[in-house]
Chain A
Amino acid sequence: MELIRANGRKLQDIRAIDISMNPIKYADGSATFKIGNTSVVAYVQGPHEILSKKGKYTDKGILNVKFFMTNFSTPQHKTNVKKNIRMTEFGNLLKSVFEGVILLKNYQNSQIDLHICVLENDGGYKSAAFNAATLALVDAGISLSQYVVSMNSGFLESFTPAIDLQQTEEKKHNCDFLISYLPKTKKIAFIELDSKKLSIKEVNSLVELAIEGCMHINEIIDQYIRENIENNLHYFAYE
């Protein structure tokens, strides 16, 4: 008999996903990505003139990423979230991944600002941040070579691998595994494992599950973007 998890899911089931594009009207591109109770909003400003005086003339565009977790996003309200080093670190990580995907050659002497904000965290906020950022960049009409999709997996009791862990499940085994995947070229963009000792076999099972989840998310995102264009086809008519 297959194991049923706390909220009635099977091991390979991911939580309900809700996407909306362009929620912030005065940004050049924005998107919210909700998976279960986790919700992340991302917005893009630019490309625009480079604001810093250093490196004003570049043959490649500059990407700035700011990652922010609101202090009401976790059960314990935090103070001084601005000083959190983990946030800046994860922001730099996002930057290095998206610099490889955005065709920055097309944006010379310009700057793109990507802001990502976690509104609610119920597990898997990092993977949701990657997905929200991809959607916001697509909405802003910025050239991407392909999507970046992301998914987390981990262990339940007695090393049962499961996908898309909630916060309560994450705490059980203290295993945090995250994959960012490039679905078109089938490559891994970023991988992070934060856990106790694991055997290679166990890690492989996590990777397989997470990639499966990434492909599922890719389908959902792709379908949403196509539908969004289909509903707004009249935009192209009066030119």
Chain B
Amino acid sequence: MESKIKIVTPGDTIGSTGKEHELGANQDSISGPGTYTEDGIIYSSLAGIVSKIGKLIMVKPLKKKYAPLTGDIVVGRVVSVEHNRWKVDINSYQHANLLLTAINLPGGEQRRRSDEDKSIMREYFKENDIISAEVQSLNSHDSSIFLQTRNMKYGKIKNGFYLKVNHNLIKRMKNHYLNVSVKNVSVILGNNGYIWIYYNPAASKKVAEVDMIDALMRGEHHELNLQEAVEIPKEVAIGLSKVRNCIVVLDRLNLPIFEYSINKSLELTEEVEAPFDILVNKEIINSIEDAIKDYINENYLNNFSSLKDEGIMEVDNDFN
């Protein structure tokens, strides 16, 4: 954390690429995301705070369209089937490409994709299917996005429903496949703001993910990748809608969505009988807000707010 936070708006001078300008510490910098250069001077192009990594100088905005990074887990909807790829809507600046060579063939077969495979692409994924995938690579030339589903975790997802939230609330975490505290309910938190809440009979067994992958490697069938849609029991359906409403409330309150915040809000709404009460009951909403804000203040903002109180981290508005 920098000791001084600098707020800039579009057009502000934040540094220079040469040494001839008198800009103190920001001489001889490299312009990064959120900036542009003109005549050797670096200007901000966004409204946000300045952050520096070595010589690289960049501006972080409050809000931004989702920009994928390699390794992100995303939930997406297949938009079209093309020659040897699927186009997937992942809530980003472009549709992502899922190549035929980047998917898992049924039965885990390892072979070259033939023309025959191209002709039956719709049997794997067809339009409007919802899939989970990982970002494999980004083309640095035209910034097109490539996905892969070469793991049994990824692929077509079923037995649940889809939800869209503000993607800025989902940070990058170790695990995006969560087993929440409601029985038999799991959640996939896509980095792109698309969330899949689904019925997972294996969730209650508390299988560690490492064990699950081991089982898959041995070729054992696993419930996670259920190919057939199953009937969802009534208790589970209520649980699903409870989880959904909790996430919607978190989204409305602009609170981060992660394992703790979902489980905490489920704990606070345990006694609620009808799931829609979570959305309308102000007492419940306020209790969720207070509990999670306290947690964030303790665990994340500790350094941040204390710096502000002591006056070390002053907001510098006259930075020009």
Contacts and interface: CB of A to CB of B under 8 A. Distances in A.
A57 B65 CA distance: 20
Given A47-B65, A47-B93, A238 B144 contact: no
B94 A109 contact: yes
A22 to B, nearest CB: 8
A147 B11 contact: yes
B258 to A, nearest CB: 9
Given A232-B62, A236-B49, A146 B315 contact: no
Contacts of B62: 141, 228-229, 232, 235
A54 B265 CA distance: 48
Interface in B42-76: 43, 45-49, 60-65
Interface string A219-239: 000100110111011111111
B143 A143 contact: no
A222 B93 CA distance: 27
Contacts of A184: 11
B315 A145 contact: no
Given A143-B34, A226-B7, A234-B301, A108 B46 contact: no
Nearest to A230: B315
Interface of B is mostly: loop
B114 interface: no
A13 interface: no
Interface in A145-170: 145-147
Interface string A197-239: 0000000000000000000000000100110111011111111
B264 interface: no
A108 B142 contact: yes
Contacts of B300: 237-238
B304 A226 contact: no
Nearest to A182: B11
A232 B301 CA distance: 13
B10 A147 contact: yes
Contacts of B150: none
Contacts of B60: 236
A48 interface: yes
B195 to A, nearest CB: 15
A91 B126 CA distance: 38
Nearest to A105: B36
Contacts of A235: 62, 168
B95 interface: yes
Interface string B7-45: 101110000000000000000000000101000000101
A239 B168 CA distance: 10
Contacts of A138: 9-10, 46-47
A83 B9 CA distance: 38
A236 B59 CA distance: 12
Contact of B36 (A140, A143, A226): A143
Contact of B95 (A49, A225, A228, A230): A49
Contacts of B301: 234, 237-238
Most buried by B among A29, A108, A141, A183: A141
A238 B47 contact: no
A139 interface: yes
Interface string A1-45: 000000000000000000000100000110000000000000000
A57 B304 CA distance: 44
Nearest to B36: A103
Contact of A238 (B34, B65, B94, B256): B256
Contacts of A144: 10-11, 45-46
B6 to A, nearest CB: 11
Contacts of A239: 171
Nearest to A184: B11
Contacts of B144: 109
B131 interface: no
21 contacts: A48-B92, A49-B95, A103-B45, A108-B143, A138-B10, A138-B47, A139-B63, A142-B46, A143-B34, A222-B9, A225-B47, A226-B7, A226-B9, A229-B7, A229-B48, A233-B5, A234-B301, A234-B304, A235-B168, A238-B171, A238-B301
Interface of B: 5, 7, 9-11, 34, 36, 43, 45-49, 60-65, 89, 92-95, 142-144, 168, 171, 256, 296, 300-301, 304, 315, 317
In the A-B complex, the 10 residue pairs with the smallest Cβ-Cβ separation, listed nearest first, are A146-B11, A141-B64, A184-B11, A143-B45, A141-B61, A238-B300, A47-B93, A144-B10, A110-B93, A237-B304
